[in-house]
A = this chain, B = another copy of it.
């Protein structure tokens, strides 16, 4: 059978990994598909100096993406440039020319995914983006096909490997946050400015893509609350352990009627849950189905090789669809829900106070005045009285109900800083 011609734009880690798999595993791929994938063009700014695996000698080599997108022989464009500038131009131009697209671009798909998707659907082409979120977990294939018969009602995830590395290092080594961050930076798991990771921006972008694919909701990433993990301290893991919990950066989206409850941020999770057990820089996605219940998927979050597998798997899926004449595999209708972070959940409040008699009584009074029920008070011995940390946990209540009480408590004269307030996932 005729080969399907592809053009790859961007030859960094993921692009090189993709080429390696295509070079090494091409026969097997051709056998599975019934036709070969032919790399017809390779594009990279530094193409002249690139050392490429053998087998791609006939491919056009160019530093200009327009030679790939403008080439009528190329049926699938692989966008591995990243960012929201050129990448967007590439994808829009490819759609307009009727070329199918495989992309690993998280930022772009989180920001402009719905718009690009609409455009792709209107043009009857496939836009595949497995590699854009949790590269080592084939969650798009699972949602598109594996559990297509279910109705997904909620998605939970550990979607940022940097945060998970830092939090699980604090957990196991009880080192301060700053030391764990430095370690992550030294190992190349975190950038010099890690704000996008630590403050939840990265995970929120991924959550937006997941909700698009899994819940058919169009949600701007900024519409979802992101809380930073910067306030979490080693001692919070001690207190969490008293509750048989640990702390992870959790992304969650729960569709209830017309409202999408969604946020990203550090949360207490049971130590024995799939979340509590995710170590190092791994990712986890949990799907909650109306009929089939919960499933958990664990794998590498990033890394050139797992992400390259996602790109090649997408290429095979899109090539097969092209060859069969099927064009669009995604829902054509999206919901535009109200987005809320007003979760009803139990809470963990960790205070830092100048100790003196009557503190708990005063806090309990404020909580009671707001009709908030205390579940437990935890105070470990051995801390300095001038900066004493202790914990109050609350029975389930809404965020909006808790907020006014938090403000009152932050204003008390014995509070050294506002309490660290984390939801408890049950």
Contact = CB atoms under 8 A, between A and B. Distances in A.
A299 B20 CA distance: 33
A298 B296 contact: yes
A151 B25 contact: yes
Interface stretch (A159-167, A237-245, A300-308, A380-388): A300-308
A371 interface: no
Interface string A315-327: 1110011001110
B294 A149 contact: no
A221 interface: no
Interface in A7-28: 17, 20-21, 25, 28
Interface in A249-296: 272, 274, 277, 279, 289, 291-296
Contact of A142 (B142, B293, B316): B142
A141 interface: yes
- Measured as residues with beta carbon below 8 angstroms from the partner, the interface class of chain A is 35 or more
A136 to B, nearest CB: 6
A272 to B, nearest CB: 7
A334 to B, nearest CB: 11
Interface of A: 17, 20-21, 25, 28-29, 31-32, 130, 136-138, 140-142, 144-151, 272, 274, 277, 279, 289, 291-300, 305-306, 308-317, 320-321, 324-326, 331-333
11 contacts: A20-B291, A25-B149, A137-B295, A146-B313, A148-B313, A149-B311, A149-B316, A272-B277, A291-B309, A296-B299, A326-B326
